[in-house]
Amino acid sequence: MLKLIDGKKLAEERRTEIKAEVEKLKAEGITPGLAVILVGEDSASQVYVNNKEKACHEVGFHSEVYRLPEDTTQEDLLALIDKLNKAEHIHGLLVQLPVPKHIDEQAVIHAINPAKDVDGFLPENMGALLIGDEAFVPCTPKGCVDLIKQSGVEIAGKKAVVVGRSNIVGKPMAILLLQENATVTICHSKTKNLKEELLQADIVVAAIGKANFITGDMIKEGAVVIDVGMNRDENGKLVGDIDRASMEGKDCWLTPVPGGVGPMTITMLMKNTLESAMRKRG
């Protein structure tokens, strides 16, 4: 029987824990602050930013959202980032991606102070993660590990397959699973015999961005399957990388789309911002 891992419920539990820690910091005169910059009118980005702002209020953070017009110059954007880097009351800073085409995305990311890089995108944090030092971990992989543990399945000693090799999900996900003592394989568009690789996996993390790409006959019984995909099918319905219908009847754990990884990603952003405030406190 297919068992679903409820990301909404777990996110609520984690946010309650975060809120309790925030109250302790506030008693010391410290309020964690998150600043989000949005350039342009991308509809998906607007939704993400609104959800982040809502989450900040929910856990008791100070929140600042800068909604800049599409024609904002790179110079003006970098000047705002520099200002927020220096702001004592801001502990986390992110620029919602994608940015308009006339702005160099990498220049924007690299302009953020690594101590405020709560997205965990900067090389300083990625490198620290790789060698096991203290780092801000990218939010989606961090949430995925929590979801796997929620299933009750022990990660150590298991064979894990990550499908996707992006810097935001695939690569850091593999590192985190290694840190949990799993044996990890990364698959991607050039992988031969993907089905054979997946059928050996006790843990599958699908992060390729192709609607319903992985079907039930590619997953072995008893596996924990984390679906990071957020896609629209031919009818405009939000679906994951895993074909949910073909998974019915299998004895597996699965994160639903929506309601699985998504709520945990924003919650881990809150957790990283809290950690930043606590680091600054010492």
Secondary structure letter of residue 216 according to DSSP: G
Residues of the chain with CATH 3.40.50.10860: 28-113
Cβ atoms of residues 203 and 234 within 8 Å: no
Could you tell me the pTM of the whole model?
0.95
CATH fold label, 28-113: Rossmann fold (3.40.50)
pLDDT at 43 over 90: no
Residue 155, CA distances (Å) to 24, 146, 151, 229, 272 in order:
32, 11, 10, 22, 23
Query: Does the active-site annotation cover 71?
Result: no
Q: Look at residue 250 in the predicted model and tell me its pLDDT.
A: 96
Q: Look at residue 209 in the predicted model and tell me its pLDDT.
A: 93
CATH number of 139-262: 3.40.50.720
Give me the catalytic one of 119, 146, 202, 243: 119
Sign of the alpha-carbon torsion through 56, 58, 61, 65: positive
* Structure-token pair, residue 199: 């059928």
More confident residue, 113 or 232: 113
Give me the catalytic one of 52, 116, 158, 271: 52
Give me the catalytic one of 96, 117, 146, 158: 96
Q: Look at residue 197 in the predicted model and tell me its pLDDT.
A: 98
Percent of the chain with pLDDT over 70: 100
Note the pLDDT tens digit of each residue in 48-105: 999 999 999 999 999 999 999 999 999 999 999 999 999 999 999 999 999 999 999 9
Cβ atoms of residues 15 and 262 within 8 Å: no
Query: Does the active-site annotation cover 119?
Result: yes
Residues of the chain with CATH 3.40.50.720: 139-262
What is the average pLDDT value for the chain, to the nearest integer?
Answer: 96
Q: What number of residues does the chain have?
A: 282
Query: Does the active-site annotation cover 52?
Result: yes
Note the pLDDT tens digit of each residue in 138-147: 999 999 999 9
